[in-house]
Structure 1
Amino acid sequence: MSYMALYRKFRPDSFKDVKGQDHIVTTLKNQIKSGRIGHAYLFTGTRGTGKTTVAKLLAKTVNCENPKEGDPCNECSMCKGIMSGTSMNVIEIDAASNNGVENVREIVEEVRYSPTEGKYKVYIIDEVHMLSTGAFNALLKTIEEPPSYVIFILATTEVHKIPVTILSRCQRYDFKRITIDNIADRLRELMDEEKLDVEDKALRYIARMADGSLRDALSLLDQCISFYLGETLTYDNVLDVLGTVDTKVFSQ
């Protein structure tokens, strides 16, 4: 079996595993429990803070056949299909490479068709700020008045590039940089689960280097573990590997 990077292996399966974004998780879970689900969301914040993860969790939970207190069951056919990437109910679009008017017109055309199973078709548009002006204009009417079975989730690291006309039609959620404590605690949980011996001081240094991004922290940790495979990962080991690494490389 091929190796899976830590950030992919431990992507949260439920809202309770999302770290550092309690204000967002609580609001979304309350919406799900009360049935007050919006038709358009905007998730904004720096990279690696959970925007795409929460978008996928929201898409999964609103389609779950047996949700529990605002969390997905992860056992029904809808949950399993969405987790495996085979469900037609969740459509992920990378706006960086699909940023033209024709790309958006395809979405607008697809929106007309209701889902064959499940309750909602959820369109997750990542890096939405990359859409052209014409593409935003083509999307505007559909975001304003989508069919009842459609939810749009727009994700961006550069909210200032989103037209006001789009912003005003979305519920906006600002993802905060995750604290060093939260990142270090999560890394400790995962290392215990993996049965890997890592010093707390080493994990805390990695958490500080990650600059608020849990994904970057997991990538840095992966790098250190690979270098000292089979050994206890100490603070000094981490300094050897990361001491001269510029964290900006992870934004490329």
Structure 2
Amino acid sequence: MKPEARKAEIADLVRREGFISVEALADKFAVTTQTIRKDINQLHEAGLVFRRHGGVEPITVMANLAYGVRQVLNLDFKRKLASLAAEYIEDGSVLAFSIGTTPELVAQSLAAKEDLTVITNNLGVGMSCLGFKGCRVFIAGGEIRTSDRDIVGPEAANFFGKYKVDIGIFGIGGLDPEGHLLDFHEEEVMARNSILENCRTSFLVMDHTKVNRPAHVRGGHITDVDYVFCDRALPANISRMLEEANTKVIYPKESEKV
């Protein structure tokens, strides 16, 4: 595993599980304790974790991981999800994309599609789709969050309300045990809900690390979604909810199409 990917996994693991010893991390990643201490020092200096004697623990401020960290975190899983979701998108579709690195990877997986219309507040999505054959890209207005490379706020939420799209594609910051969709800021939830309300079919793309991941702003429920793309089996209670709601859960081996 590359150092940046390992550090990203350490940061997310600590966020979800709390204090972890240096020795436990060294065993998990099959590296020396010296390597783990170096990783922890760099994460501590970046403000992503808190270093303490013998290990590392979460920082007390609730915030999402830095964009660069999220880009490499669970990258292989996210690429599989992105390629899978792309199989369910036809030429000529009108698509709304939310913020986040996983929706961005879905957009990148659409390079072979033609005549798409893309509506987004995600700068990475917009730039990825430029140059696709026949693709039109519409970007929300407002202030750019340099830390996340996106645009959120009332203007972005209103922007999505101007369209009725074929498919809305979005990620989440976390999923709680009751199935509520979580994010880190109210503005993020506003934009995501606007996409959900203004699409004919909704795609939630999430890797397994989002399950029980703490985020403090609630908006929507997983049963509101038409399709959930996930790289691993969801908890049994969540799976039952989705089955009762007729929400389809798509794992990498499935091939049924919309």
Give me the TM-score of the superposition, normalised by structure 1.
Answer: 0.31
Q: Which has the higher helix share?
A: 1
Q: Which has the higher strand share?
A: 2
Give me the TM-score of the superposition, normalised by structure 2.
Answer: 0.30
Larger radius of gyration: 1
